[in-house]
Amino acid sequence: MPASSTRARLVAAAFRLFTARGFEATTVDDIAAEAGVGRTTFFRSFPSKEAVVFPDHAPILGAVDARLASASRDSADLALLEASRIVLDNYLADGDVARARYALTTSVPALRATESANQRAYQQLFRDHIRRWITPVDGELADDLLAEVLANAVVTAHNHVLRRWLRGTSDDPRRDLADAIGAVTSRIGLDAAAHEDTQVVVLRSRRSFDDVLPEVRRLLAD
């Protein structure tokens, strides 16, 4: 019997017991007994009782890292979308486990904490790659902050879409993700940092947008 099967049995046993009795009321001995193995074997497969709730964290994190590493500055926006999509697809792959995990993380404080730690890992991953795409231009204070805010926004957008789907509010989460990531990158994207000569001023006018735009274009032409 290969080791992966033992891991899978432990995960299945843990989710069965957690959803039935609750997280705190289930001991590691219970999980091991339910899976038909010893307590020591559990801790060989998972570093803690919390970790069994997020069994695919490390491999997904690695896949996201690989996707981001393969991108350059020009393909940044697409990389952000597809990297977050890797995570989303993994949740969509088996929705029952994802929903069970959602129910657990929303009710058990200890699991919320480890989930926060996991999301922090994603944020740092995105941040580092975004910073790598930015720094060729310059290394100002604002750039480090921009990288962090953008990374945070991407993760937040993903979580937002995922949560909506888990609650049944969304029909097409992949499309929602594309919209959300697009909305985020269009506001906090890298382009604004790239063109430092860009200046932003908000003006209001009673004139219609379609009327004004051609005139402004003409004004800036020469």
Footprint of a second copy (CB under 8 A): 109, 112-114, 116-117, 119-120, 141-142, 144-145, 148-149, 152-153, 156-157, 160, 164, 176, 180, 183-184, 186-188, 191-192, 195, 197-207, 209, 212-213, 215-217, 219-222
Contact between 178 and DNA per CB under 7 A:
no
Q: How far is the CB of 116 from a second copy (least distance, A)?
A: 4
Rounded to whole angstroms, how far apart are CA atoms 89 and 63?
12
153 vs 4, 90, 108, 214, CA distance in Å?
Answer: 35, 20, 25, 33
Least distance between a second copy and beta carbon 25 (Å): 19
85 scored as a contact of DNA (CB under 7 A): no
Sole binder of DNA in the list 13, 14, 17, 49 (CB under 7 A) = 49
Give the integer Cα–Cα distance in Å for 121 and 44. Answer: 23
| Residue 141 Cα distances to 51, 101, 134, 138, 145, angstroms | 36, 38, 12, 10, 7
Phi-psi region of 168 (alpha: psi -120 to 50; beta: other; left: phi over 0): left
User: How far lies 16's CA from each of 12, 108, 109, 137, in Å?
Assistant: 6, 16, 19, 52
Please, which residue, 31 or 130, has the CB nearer to DNA? 31
Does 44 participate in binding DNA (rule CB under 7 A)? yes
- 20 is in the binding site of which of DNA, a second copy, none (Cβ under 5 to 8 A by kind)? none
Residues that bind DNA (CB under 7 A): 1, 3, 6, 26-29, 32, 36-41, 43-45, 47-50
